[in-house]
Structure 1
Amino acid sequence: MFEVTDEEIGNQKPGEPTNENQKEIEMPDQMELLSLPSELLESICFYLDMQSLCSISQVCWRLNNIQESETVWKTAFFKRYPRLEQGSHQPELQLALKQSGDRWKQLAAWHVSLGAEICAMLDEMGNKYFTIGGLPDPAMQEMKELVSRHCTVLVKDQLLDVLDTEQTDGFEHISRRHYARMLYRELHRDGVLLPLFREFMQRPSEHVNIPEATHLIDQWITPERRRRNASELQHHYQHIAALCLRQLRAAAPHHPAAAWARCKADPFGQTLWSEADVLVVLDAVNAVLYDQLDLLGDQDGRPRTGYAAVAHQLFCGVDAGDVNPRALLSALYATVAGLLGVNMFPVRFPGNSLLRWQTRDGSDSLFVSVMRAGLRQTRDEIMANPYLRIRNVGHESFEPIPRHELLNRLVVGIMAGHRTAHLTDADLLSLNALAVWSETDCRLGFPLLHELSEVFGGIRPMYIHDLTQEFLEQHDGTLSEEEREGLRDSKELMKQRYEQILQELRRHKEVVCLRRNAAPVQRRFRVGDIVRHRRYHYHAVVAGWTERCDATEGWIEQMGVDRLPLGRHQPFFNVLAEDRTTRYAADENLELAPAPLPIGHRELGRYFVRYDGRRYVPLAAVSERYPDPPPPDAEDGDGAAATAAGRGDSGDSGDGPPPGTDGDGSDGDVRLCRSDGDVRL
């Protein structure tokens, strides 16, 4: 320890240490760091991210050698990519590590470069495929080619990284996230969820229950949601069943189940108790679900707190996914009862709210209504309701729901519900395909291939082509020559449809060239402007335009276009409205929004890159196809202002979704039509 005299302090400027002291203070700190054992330096490196590890490698040879440790880079890799640490990812991850020479640093560099490649590919997809709604086959073929060069788990992890940026920069990279979401969903559905559905559909009938079907449907809709996985649902089921077991012990201490230390591990299997004991179990379930947790809602307006709030949000609230709350409550009731030894199953009764319990000898049945606080009735008591006779509800409505019908009910309920506004065209097509898969127990066959070609043939022909090839390889020995020839013809037809999609994309470039050379069209709005409807006052963002009304005569007559002051001979705009619909609006019915705000619409990423606070910035290809209008001269501007001021309410809206489309009337676009189940270009 060195001492500084008062004289030295007096000669020293305020805040300036002596040179001698400066050396004695700095050198020991530097020497102490480098003199630490290698094991301790490695432990310090565990707290660094990958970028910092690369930086310290340039400090000195000692730190460079330390950061080369495989343990250090393995820790840094999982710190940066924590999703890959899951046990289900380890087989593919180990394969990727082997391809990287068993070096974690090399795997990290590979994964970082993969992320940059995926971001560039997603940005390019927006410019190439915006004229096609949904997920076109060329985009999926690009992703498959990328997956063939990298592990699927690494590609999906990078796609999730892109989606996670919405939390930090929600107004940036809109198009990139749009395509990342669709691609991730299709990869996860084909590679993970479809095999799970296949296993589910091929189980014995007594092992098929609505809780798992509900969970699988929820996963199918938004597979990127990781907040409610299977283990989390199982935890809530077990927790509520434990509450019911505690209630059972308090109300009926002599019941056989009261001696259980814990509930069953799964809800499958036959009923374990006599009829009298079953009723005691159901009383305990009703007391917990409807009295303690109050899942049907508060009658006095008191806010829910504690676990009651968690359970209500999970099984009945608005955040409970895209499944009908009746189905969720039925799933909860049947699962909890199964965990307590009572086997219940849903029946075909309208509303998805009736569960059936059958005596062990099959001589009698009891029905429980989950939406009426667990009310128990016999078949005759239910049929005494005259309203049911009006609806032609017969005895077949009390029979168990077959597996394919159970899934179909859930899928149809989702597609008919209000939450479909949040689903893209690709999601709706995928739900249609899932309904087709469920009808055949997820088994490949001629009926399945025919139905899937009706759903996917227009937008994903190579998907049908690959399924047909898979079916040929699996059943080549059992097919007749005529059947094989028909399948080969089907493959050739799918290739032709794929070429048609590519031709439409090439035609898009020709349309851009024609518009570039054509006379400019006078318009008041640019693509990306946020506008307001003069009559209905909804806000929307302009996504495209046509020089005049480009719709059928029937649509023009239905919407009263010719009764507008400027009629059909004015620009019409494709707009994405704030109510998540897509509309085709006349120029005279729109005005710039005085206070623009972001528009929430599922198709924003199809046209736009980002939101700059005032308007949406379109993709480069969208700007080429729909160039900004030329600036009007003063005279035209005054006339336009006078016309706009004198328009007011014309009596007819003159806008709406064009018939046969999903609301997008852009000329030259590939239009995806949905009519009576047909999907065609």
Structure 2
Amino acid sequence: MAAEAPAGPGSGSGGGTGLTDLPGELLELILCCDVLGAADIGRVSCTCRRLREACQPRGKVWRERFRLRWPSLLKYYSHSDSVSWLEEYKARHNAGLEAQRIVASFSKRFFSEHVPCDGFSDIETLGCPSHFFEDELMCILNMEGRKGLTWKYYAKKILYFLRQQNILKNLKEYLQRPTERQSFLEGAVLIDQYCNPLSDICLKSVQAQVDDITDKVRKVLRTKNPRHPSLASKAGEVLVPEVELQRQVLDAMNCVLYEQLKYKGNELDYYNSLNSYIHQVLIRRTGIPISLSVLYLTIARQLGVKLEPVNFPSHFLLRWCQGKEGSTDIFDYTYIDAFGKGKQLTVKECEYLIGHHVTEEFYGVVTSKEVLQRMVGNLLNLGKRESTDQSYQLLRDSLDLYLAMYPDNVQHLMLQARLYFHLGIWPEKVLDILQHIQALDPSQHGAVGYLVQHTLEHIERRKEELGPEVKHRSDEKHKEVCFSIGLIMKHKRYGYNCVIYGWDPACMMGHEWIRNMNVHSLPHGPHQPFYNVLVEDGSCRYAAQENLEYNSEPREIPHPDIGRYFSEFTGVHYLANTELEIRYPEDLELTRATVQKIYSSGKDLIVPRATVPILNILLGLGKSSSSSEARGVASSADPGLGGHTSPVAETPKAEEELLALFHAC
């Protein structure tokens, strides 16, 4: 790229054509080339007025820089928007720096406890657009798979929180609408989004899939009745008045859903939470009665047939009026079982379905809010049954949803307080919940008082914590500890694969745990080293040394907390992050020596410590790229890579240069 432009045509030695002599369109095309970066454009725009005008903030050049750097963000702009792309580039760049600073701080702040919701307070007060912040978090999550695990762990938690807060706001707005404007499908999508905030789920895409099914139904309907009124109207515009015409729609729906597309009730894996998520129902073509009913009802209404939800016990149903509209006589309705391939049932057949008699009230129609309540209730029950997820995430999410709909429900408030208390997270929030319960129901003072007392004790203990316990292998009392942090192990008895993230010179659990786990039956009993391990099934276990052995085929351990303790998987072992290394400062050397001895056969399998700072990897510095895009770097060391510099200790020269160019622009 030319550092300077000639003053004009024919000037300069040899009279050659310079960059500024080119036609505007060609000059713009060159400046939009993807080998140029923001720093390059900044330098060019500082050389002369002609090039400064070519790189003007609202022009195509800076728009192209923005598009190349952050392509996923263009969906937030329309072609008619008058946007200063230079200012947008600056704002997104600065949001990225702020996101990196916050992510870098989380490991030290929250290594010893779950991240409480007030831990995200810094994020909520940021002045940058939330989608800029989220985009940076996604950049972190999309890094090379085996590196930056600690960054990814906390970026995921932050993104989870931000998206849930936004979804909760949308849910509350939905609940405040008039009933006729509360779409059952939209409600199901909101629940789905809240429980799966990191998945790409939106109402528009779900609606498009439902519309596609509806079009298939129309094709079948057209072959049966080319003049059917549902074919002439747009989705849901006209209600089909005649029962026989409605029946034709339902028959066509059953043909498409259950015969062509093979939808069915999931009887074999009924208690899988995926059955409750509408986007998964559409992908897997299976679900439970309520999720299939929402799909069935939505398609029917788009074709002009009014079906209504019935909160039938143990088996959600729909009802179809055969008599006068709005009839209160339960015998004026046919009941539809979407779980049972759209089978149409009488009142008596509904009772056969669940095996006992029910009163008339259970055949009545329910509101969209009550439908959501039942969907969330199903997830609550699944969350209580979940045995491997020690964070109880599904239970926590479903409690949040339930209390968003019914904020004064004492039973669920108490469950939430007990859950947080059990997990040892956010004790200040527990006190707030308990105070609210006491105000709603003074008769709960006994249970409330017990939890208040123990929560206050928890807060006091936390204040008294002096710092991390450091375990040196060289200490005489640790001489029997054979294994080290980061090694991939196999349990001799149960066969599970795991990684060590902590150890004790002897069993430190209480007498009851030792008795229940039959530890005394082991040859060395409790008087041997015990190891904290993350297991591939998502559980955390405490294993005796005699039960562990080196894994002959070391592999990645897909545990949700892996990034809390480790920064990288080398292919044969894990590297402890800074916080874990502080607690076990002498383990890394033994881990490397062990791996060298156990797994090396003629070649060194140990991947050395990363020499390129993690943020350089994140932002494209220090590696080859098709673009010379200068990307902001907020720190020189990942807290998860074992470096001991402060996460924001210094600003690299490239970052200073880019900031200076921004200022000049």
What TM-score do the two structures reach when normalised by structure 1? 0.69
- Structure 2: tracts of 5 or more residues without a match: 1-12, 267-277, 442-447, 599-665
Structure 1 residues 553 and 527 mapped into 2: Cα distance closer, same or farther (>3 Å)? Answer: same
SS of the aligned residue for 2:469 comes to helix
CA contact (8 A) 2:472 2:585 kept: no
CA contact (8 A) 1:348 1:396 kept: no
- In structure 2, the partner of 1:121 is 102
Output the amino acid matched with 2:486: G
Decide which of 481, 501, 506 is 1:548's aligned counterpart: 506
Decide which of 58, 62, 67 is 1:70's aligned counterpart: 58
Residue 536 (str. 1) matches residue 482 (str. 2): no
Distance (Å, rounded) in 1 between the aligned partners of 2:148 and 2:522: 39
- In structure 2, the partner of 1:136 is 116
- In structure 1, the partner of 2:402 is 435
Partner deviation per Cα, 1:509-529 (whole Å, 9 max, x = no partner): 153389998853531221221
| Count of residues paired in the alignment | 548
- In structure 2, the partner of 1:597 is 555
- In structure 1, the partner of 2:145 is 170
Distance (Å, rounded) in 2 between the aligned partners of 1:180 and 1:615: 23
CA contact (8 A) 2:66 2:89 kept: yes
Residue 141 (structure 1) shift? 2.8
Structure 1 residues 193 and 296 mapped into 2: Cα distance closer, same or farther (>3 Å)? Answer: same
CA contact (8 A) 1:549 1:570 kept: yes
Distance (Å, rounded) in 1 between the aligned partners of 2:150 and 2:512: 34
Residue 46 (str. 1) matches residue 41 (str. 2): no
CA contact (8 A) 1:520 1:630 kept: no
- In structure 2, the partner of 1:31 is 17
Partner deviation per Cα, 1:618-642 (whole Å, 9 max, x = no partner): 111112223445999xxxx9xxx9x
Distance (Å, rounded) in 2 between the aligned partners of 1:87 and 1:216: 21
Distance (Å, rounded) in 2 between the aligned partners of 1:430 and 1:217: 9
Structure 1 residues 33 and 121 mapped into 2: Cα distance closer, same or farther (>3 Å)? Answer: same
Alignment of 1:416-455 (within 5 A): 416=382, 425=392, 428-440=395-407
- In structure 2, the partner of 1:229 is 202
- In structure 1, the partner of 2:649 is none
CA contact (8 A) 1:355 1:369 kept: yes
Decide which of 319, 340, 363 is 1:398's aligned counterpart: 363
Residue 374 (structure 1) shift? 1.1
- In structure 2, the partner of 1:610 is 568
CA contact (8 A) 2:488 2:498 kept: yes
Residue 128 (structure 1) shift? 2.8
Residue 317 (structure 1) shift? 4.4
Distance (Å, rounded) in 1 between the aligned partners of 2:303 and 2:93: 49
Residue 215 (str. 1) matches residue 215 (str. 2): no
CA contact (8 A) 1:129 1:505 kept: no
CA contact (8 A) 1:175 1:605 kept: yes
Alignment of 1:557-596 (within 5 A): 557-596=515-554
Structure 1 residues 295 and 138 mapped into 2: Cα distance closer, same or farther (>3 Å)? Answer: closer
Distance (Å, rounded) in 2 between the aligned partners of 1:31 and 1:499: 79
Distance (Å, rounded) in 2 between the aligned partners of 1:126 and 1:151: 24
For the aligned residue pairs, the C-alpha RMSD in angstroms reads 4.4
SS of the aligned residue for 2:339 comes to helix
Residue 174 (structure 1) shift? 1.2
- In structure 2, the partner of 1:338 is 301
Residue 561 (structure 1) shift? 0.7
Decide which of 79, 82, 85 is 2:71's aligned counterpart: 82
SS of the aligned residue for 2:17 comes to helix
Residue 503 (structure 1) shift? 6.1
Decide which of 136, 143, 146 is 1:158's aligned counterpart: 136
- In structure 2, the partner of 1:459 is 425
Structure 1 residues 161 and 462 mapped into 2: Cα distance closer, same or farther (>3 Å)? Answer: farther
SS of the aligned residue for 1:511 comes to coil
Distance (Å, rounded) in 2 between the aligned partners of 1:355 and 1:588: 58
Decide which of 239, 244, 261 is 1:293's aligned counterpart: 261
Distance (Å, rounded) in 2 between the aligned partners of 1:425 and 1:132: 15
Partner deviation per Cα, 1:470-491 (whole Å, 9 max, x = no partner): x9xxxxxxxx9x99xxxxxx9x
Distance (Å, rounded) in 2 between the aligned partners of 1:148 and 1:557: 51
Structure 1 residues 396 and 529 mapped into 2: Cα distance closer, same or farther (>3 Å)? Answer: farther
Structure 1 residues 621 and 315 mapped into 2: Cα distance closer, same or farther (>3 Å)? Answer: same
Alignment of 1:410-421 (within 5 A): 410-414=375-379, 416=382
- In structure 2, the partner of 1:663 is none
Residue 399 (structure 1) shift? 3.5
Structure 1 residues 73 and 521 mapped into 2: Cα distance closer, same or farther (>3 Å)? Answer: farther
Distance (Å, rounded) in 1 between the aligned partners of 2:510 and 2:358: 43
Decide which of 238, 245, 253 is 1:277's aligned counterpart: 245
Residue 509 (str. 1) matches residue 467 (str. 2): yes
Partner deviation per Cα, 1:342-397 (whole Å, 9 max, x = no partner): 22233333555522223414241111112222110111122245x612xx755554
Tell me which moved more, 150-159 or 459-468: 459-468
- In structure 1, the partner of 2:214 is 241
- In structure 2, the partner of 1:620 is 578
Partner deviation per Cα, 1:120-153 (whole Å, 9 max, x = no partner): 43233123312213x2245323333xx3343333
Residue 163 (structure 1) shift? 2.2
CA contact (8 A) 1:608 1:619 kept: yes
Residue 236 (structure 1) shift? 1.3
Residue 314 (structure 1) shift? 5.4
Distance (Å, rounded) in 2 between the aligned partners of 1:564 and 1:252: 75
- In structure 1, the partner of 2:228 is 255
Partner deviation per Cα, 1:221-255 (whole Å, 9 max, x = no partner): 222322x3211111111121122122222212343
Structure 1 residues 532 and 114 mapped into 2: Cα distance closer, same or farther (>3 Å)? Answer: same
Distance (Å, rounded) in 1 between the aligned partners of 2:367 and 2:313: 14
Output the amino acid matched with 1:119: Q
CA contact (8 A) 1:209 1:345 kept: no
Residue 540 (structure 1) shift? 0.9
Output the amino acid matched with 1:132: E
Distance (Å, rounded) in 1 between the aligned partners of 2:135 and 2:589: 46
CA contact (8 A) 1:252 1:258 kept: no
- In structure 2, the partner of 1:656 is none
CA contact (8 A) 2:430 2:455 kept: no
SS of the aligned residue for 2:171 comes to helix
SS of the aligned residue for 1:512 comes to coil
Distance (Å, rounded) in 1 between the aligned partners of 2:479 and 2:123: 38
Distance (Å, rounded) in 2 between the aligned partners of 1:452 and 1:424: 13
Output the amino acid matched with 2:110: Y
What TM-score do the two structures reach when normalised by structure 2? 0.71
Structure 1 residues 519 and 564 mapped into 2: Cα distance closer, same or farther (>3 Å)? Answer: closer
SS of the aligned residue for 1:70 comes to coil
- In structure 2, the partner of 1:522 is 480
Residue 539 (structure 1) shift? 0.4
- In structure 2, the partner of 1:183 is 158
Structure 1 residues 450 and 428 mapped into 2: Cα distance closer, same or farther (>3 Å)? Answer: closer
CA contact (8 A) 1:114 1:155 kept: yes
Partner deviation per Cα, 1:23-47 (whole Å, 9 max, x = no partner): xxxx999726442123432243334
Residue 109 (str. 1) matches residue 90 (str. 2): yes
Structure 1 residues 555 and 350 mapped into 2: Cα distance closer, same or farther (>3 Å)? Answer: farther
CA contact (8 A) 2:485 2:587 kept: no
Residue 325 (structure 1) shift? 5.0
Decide which of 276, 281, 285 is 1:315's aligned counterpart: 281
Distance (Å, rounded) in 1 between the aligned partners of 2:215 and 2:589: 71
Distance (Å, rounded) in 2 between the aligned partners of 1:517 and 1:136: 35
CA contact (8 A) 1:596 1:614 kept: yes
- In structure 2, the partner of 1:675 is none
Partner deviation per Cα, 1:297-337 (whole Å, 9 max, x = no partner): 99xxxxxxxxxxxxx9953545x8xx945444222211100
CA contact (8 A) 2:489 2:551 kept: yes
Residue 116 (structure 1) shift? 3.1
